[in-house]
Structure 1
Amino acid sequence: MVTVTHVVGTRHDPRRWWALGALVASMLVLAFDSTILNVALPTMAGQLGATTGQQQWMADAYVVVFAALMLPAGLLGDRFGRRLMLIAGLAVFLGGSVLGALAGDVNAVIAARAVMGIGGALIMPLALAVLPALFGPEERGKAVGLITAASALGMPLGPLVGGFLLNHFWWGSVFLINIPMAAIGIAACVFLLPETRDPATPKVDPVSTALSVAGLGALIYAIIEAPDRGWGDGLELAMFAAAAVLLGSLVLRERRVSRPMLDMGLLTHRGFLLNTVAATLVMFVLSGLMFAVPTYLQAVLGHDAFATGLRLLPMMAGLLVAAKGAQPFVARFGARAAVSAGLVVLAFAALLGSRTTVHDGYGFTALWLSITGLGFGFSVVPAMDGALGALPAARAGSGSGLLSTFRQVGGAIGIALLGSLLASAFRDRLDVAGLPGPAAHTARESVVAAHVVAAHTDSARLAASANMSYVHGMTLVLLVCGAAALLAALLAALLLPSTPVVRHMPREEDEETPAVAAPVADAGQ
């Protein structure tokens, strides 16, 4: 049976928490995939004969497509139904996972990852877009915290699950694990999640869509390739210039049309803009930090993939504490204080981590990882809540797409810049004296490669130098992360609104919102 229900009515429906469970299930699909492939790459490279560049694109094909499509994906959800597009995204992600499991060569794996990126682009912004319709300001912070916790759950569980699968099955099993998870997410959305849409949303403009996809694709591609090619490489400069021209053309086009696809007006709302910037800076710091730590646990401390996942759990524990405590903190002290304090805690964790040495063992790392999770939760949850709260209900999809795009680009920049810093510091510090030219070149590629060369040449000196060089590079990364978090904390303290912004739109629009709400399927009746 289908009943007509205003979107705002779902805020008092006891099933809204079951609907949140459907969103959490959807985000878990992405959370697992975000880290599980990294565990399988060495095995896949050996069996498929992939080069270093091909390995990179097995991971990055997903990121490029994902970031490039999030803006039009949010608009499609606003227009045709957020639940419908979320289910479509999960279905596409499931199909891409099947293709990945059946792939027989590197190019097929890369193509499958690109298909999965299309699904991911629909899942993330639309999962966030549904929250303002389900929860009022008093509950939305808790809901955002649970969504964030689900996203972060993939950090430790991805390596755990991936390590187990690779120990017992073939490499394609890391794709197969997505199939039941995506199926559960689809079922949860069908039976638990109400439909919301805005029929008045502007039609998808093919030209603007092409400009946004091409511009963001060129930007992310350039960021990803920069550490290998060098920031001054001719192709890099050309891609950055192309991205600037394409995205600039998009902005000019959208400012001239009467019903723009990309709602630039959202960026004029102080609450949305500044909270989005804060969430993006948090992702920059966290992405760089999480790029360095797993390799430290595996290559320097000598743990396998499964054990590495276990040792990332303290960060998850800190995040869960923050997810539970952020909302009461915001209620008492305000969102600005929560975001600023969270960023200070994140900075403290990074600076504490920069004191790590090769002789510290895991206990010290567990300490600053738990503090990292605490700072991440206290900063990103109120920031995302504030950004979502500033969105009018009719533009939740397009606004969430914009928020997700900024966060994804921030994460990609963090990995590219801080990864390049780490690689450069490692190469400069590594002692390869006495090694033949080819062996020295291989050792400088990564700490893992250096350990392989050390094992083949029976050189304990090279292994020790590799560990010390990597920790030196990680120290620099953590120092930059700490400085960036402190700068972000200062900006948040000075500029953020003191309390979450519920709406920045005229009252007339608020009163009209229920009129454009879609019929809500009364699931199970």
Structure 2
Amino acid sequence: MPSHALKRRTLLALCACALVAQSMVAAVNLLIPQLSASSLHPTTGEILWTVDAYVIVFAGLLIPAGALGDRYGRKGALLAGLTLFAAGAALSALARDPAPLIAGRGVCGAGAALITPATLSILMHLAGPRGRARAMASWTLALGLGGLAGNLGGGLAGQFASWRALFAAMVPLAGLLVVAVAVTTPRTARSPHSNLAPAGTLLLTGGLVAVLFGIIEGPGYGWTSPGILLAFAAGALLVALFTVVSLRSRAPLFDPRVFTAPRLRAATLGMATGFFGLFSLFYVNSQYLQGLKGYGPARTGVAIVPLIVGMALVPRLAARWSARPRPVIGGGLALIGTGLLGLSTAGAGTPYPLYACWLLVISAGTGLCMPALTLGVVTSLPPHQAGLGSGLGTSAREIGAALGVAVTGTVLASHGDLHGGIAPALRVVGLLVLAATVAVTIGYGRADEDSGPAQAAGPAPEATGTGPAHARGETATAPRRDVR
């Protein structure tokens, strides 16, 4: 499809959808005190599930949701996702006890799982090879703004309105987005080579949900508690079974051998690392500003706005360097780690402008590396699997985000008070980000050595067991290496 097929109004509509879906990941965090004191009288466990249901369903369904859009239509998947998102928000807004509230969050998460990969794969198809770097920069900015909008919206609702108002506002907003998508977004070609593979889909989804449950609930139950160990064991077993079933299947959801490509492994790790650091920051930021600086919820939401600056400005520069992803990605992740180490020096008496400077460092790093990482994941798979590739990348982001919150919460809990725990938590996360940065940079170097100068193309449809060779009944070969 020609690059001019991506119109500005289409780009804005798709980015707005991604922004809204991402905003609901963090929005509820600032409403926990209000929910706890509400007429629903939720238990501590029910509060945790109100927060976590969205993330677990969202991340668990991303890969099959992306494949669903590839096979049956990406625009249709996006419209269905927006409808589910609105229905879940309405259910939560009208809840009279915790169960419908949690169920509504889960339905919203299922809608977001359809929305996010569909928006990215439509952009990939409409932008064409020349416009992909800029389209990725805009889409990545939308995700970053979504995180900020969630913090800001949750803070404003917590201080000036109610948690019901936040959920209720999502219903007409999703309706407006349905109209915008219907009017501005063309349909892209469906892929007859994409497969949902019911058995593989159930195994992979179950494995991801089990692993995410273990990560998210680990700090609360204890990492060595029987339930958490069982969740991790079940997740590992289900993912292993998915691998076995997919390797034997003539039409798998995707061929696990795509991970033999160094580029895909490095890009996936890089995306998880970036969001690991970013969501650790989101988790600590609200506690630091409210607990140590004495800010209210609304002021706390506004105080993280400096993160917008780097995310808005730097991707435009990064798009010019898209032909050299290794230094762009390594430099961006290093800035995120360095910014977290800088924030670890902040205390109750630290002036806010100094705190904001470290936020700018993190935002610049995020804006620098995330578009290139997103492009690296999506282009590691063939074009007909763009939705699946975007689901894979977003799953890595959400798992990284969940790990960031879990690790940060564990370190905070190991210290007696908030004042003494924030600095060690940020230091641990910052050092882990820098260590992973080395691994990602080395991985991209190996991808360069193994592939040569051509542009990344990823495994061919024939090599994944889903292309013409497979359709003719020929034996699929191992996927070729990722080529640049």
* Residues 55-94 of structure 1 mapped to structure 2, 5 A cutoff: 55-94=47-86
- 1:477 matched to 2:425? The reply is yes
In structure 2, the residue corresponding to 1:330 is in which secondary structure?
Answer: coil
* Structure 1 residue 486, shift from structure 2 partner: 1.8
* Structure 1 residue 501, shift from structure 2 partner: 4.1
Shift in CA distance, 507/260, structure 1 to aligned 2, threshold 3 Å = closer
Distance 1:402 1:424 in 2: 33
1:227–1:420: 8 Å Cα contact kept in structure 2? yes
Distance 2:337 2:32 in 1: 31
**2:184 aligned to which of 179, 185, 192:** 192
Deviates more, 1:98-107 or 1:185-194: 185-194
In structure 2, the residue corresponding to 1:135 is in which secondary structure?
Answer: helix
Distance 1:176 1:287 in 2: 25
Give the TM-score of the pair, scaled to structure 2.
Answer: 0.89
**2:87 aligned to which of 92, 95, 100:** 95
Give the TM-score of the pair, scaled to structure 1.
Answer: 0.83
* Structure 1 residue 283, shift from structure 2 partner: 1.3
For residues 178-230 of structure 1, the C-alpha deviation after alignment (integer angstroms, 9 at most, x for no partner) is 11221222122211112224342344232222212221111111111110111
For residues 230-276 of structure 1, the C-alpha deviation after alignment (integer angstroms, 9 at most, x for no partner) is 11101111111111111111110000011111332432333333212
- 1:324 matched to 2:316? The reply is yes
Supply the AA of the counterpart residue of 1:26: C
Number of the residue aligned with 1:226? 218
Shift in CA distance, 113/373, structure 1 to aligned 2, threshold 3 Å = same
* Structure 1 residue 504, shift from structure 2 partner: 2.9
Shift in CA distance, 210/386, structure 1 to aligned 2, threshold 3 Å = closer
Distance 1:501 1:417 in 2: 37
Supply the AA of the counterpart residue of 1:39: L
Number of the residue aligned with 2:104? 112
Supply the AA of the counterpart residue of 2:72: F
- The structure with the largest alpha-carbon Rg is 1
Instruction: Specify every segment of 5 or more residues in structure 2 that has no aligned partner in the other structure, as ranges.
Output: 469-484
1:100–1:113: 8 Å Cα contact kept in structure 2? yes
- 1:336 matched to 2:336? The reply is no
Number of the residue aligned with 1:12? 4
* Structure 1 residue 139, shift from structure 2 partner: 2.3
Shift in CA distance, 212/404, structure 1 to aligned 2, threshold 3 Å = same
* Structure 1 residue 389, shift from structure 2 partner: 2.6
* Structure 1 residue 507, shift from structure 2 partner: 11
- 1:304 matched to 2:296? The reply is yes
For residues 293-339 of structure 1, the C-alpha deviation after alignment (integer angstroms, 9 at most, x for no partner) is 121111111111111111101111121122222112335xx110100
Number of the residue aligned with 1:436? none
Number of the residue aligned with 1:3? none
Distance 1:156 1:138 in 2: 29
Deviates more, 1:476-485 or 1:85-94: 476-485
1:226–1:236: 8 Å Cα contact kept in structure 2? yes
Deviates more, 1:194-203 or 1:28-37: 194-203
Number of the residue aligned with 1:455? none
**1:121 aligned to which of 90, 113, 127:** 113
* Structure 1 residue 163, shift from structure 2 partner: 3.4
* Residues 246-257 of structure 1 mapped to structure 2, 5 A cutoff: 246-257=238-249
Number of the residue aligned with 1:504? 458
- 1:35 matched to 2:26? The reply is yes
Number of the residue aligned with 1:45? 36
Deviates more, 1:248-257 or 1:25-34: 25-34
In structure 1, the residue corresponding to 2:37 is in which secondary structure?
Answer: helix
* Structure 1 residue 506, shift from structure 2 partner: 5.4
- 1:259 matched to 2:251? The reply is yes
Number of the residue aligned with 1:152? 144
1:389–1:501: 8 Å Cα contact kept in structure 2? no
Number of the residue aligned with 2:474? none
Distance 1:235 1:45 in 2: 25
**2:230 aligned to which of 225, 238, 247:** 238
1:255–1:264: 8 Å Cα contact kept in structure 2? yes
Distance 2:351 2:320 in 1: 36
Between the aligned residues of both structures, percent identity stands at 32
* Structure 1 residue 492, shift from structure 2 partner: 3.0
Shift in CA distance, 343/308, structure 1 to aligned 2, threshold 3 Å = same
Distance 1:500 1:57 in 2: 47
1:25–1:181: 8 Å Cα contact kept in structure 2? no
* Structure 1 residue 165, shift from structure 2 partner: 3.3
Distance 1:471 1:138 in 2: 49
Supply the AA of the counterpart residue of 1:504: G
For residues 389-436 of structure 1, the C-alpha deviation after alignment (integer angstroms, 9 at most, x for no partner) is 3332111111221221122112111211221111212x2xxxxxxxxx
For residues 53-111 of structure 1, the C-alpha deviation after alignment (integer angstroms, 9 at most, x for no partner) is 11111010111111111121111111100111011011100000111111111111011
Name the Cα RMSD after superposition.
2.1
Supply the AA of the counterpart residue of 1:227: P
Deviates more, 1:279-288 or 1:112-121: 279-288
Number of the residue aligned with 2:133? 141
Distance 2:461 2:241 in 1: 33
* Residues 285-296 of structure 1 mapped to structure 2, 5 A cutoff: 285-296=277-288
In structure 1, the residue corresponding to 2:63 is in which secondary structure?
Answer: helix
- 1:23 matched to 2:10? The reply is no
1:301–1:361: 8 Å Cα contact kept in structure 2? no
Shift in CA distance, 267/302, structure 1 to aligned 2, threshold 3 Å = same
Instruction: Specify every segment of 5 or more residues in structure 1 that has no aligned partner in the other structure, as ranges.
Output: 1-7, 428-468, 514-525
Shift in CA distance, 173/295, structure 1 to aligned 2, threshold 3 Å = same
Supply the AA of the counterpart residue of 1:19: T
Supply the AA of the counterpart residue of 1:262: F
Deviates more, 1:400-409 or 1:201-210: 201-210
In structure 2, the residue corresponding to 1:232 is in which secondary structure?
Answer: coil
In structure 2, the residue corresponding to 1:313 is in which secondary structure?
Answer: coil
Distance 2:404 2:313 in 1: 25
Number of the residue aligned with 1:453? none
Shift in CA distance, 471/379, structure 1 to aligned 2, threshold 3 Å = farther
Shift in CA distance, 500/277, structure 1 to aligned 2, threshold 3 Å = farther
Number of the residue aligned with 1:422? 412
Shift in CA distance, 371/30, structure 1 to aligned 2, threshold 3 Å = same
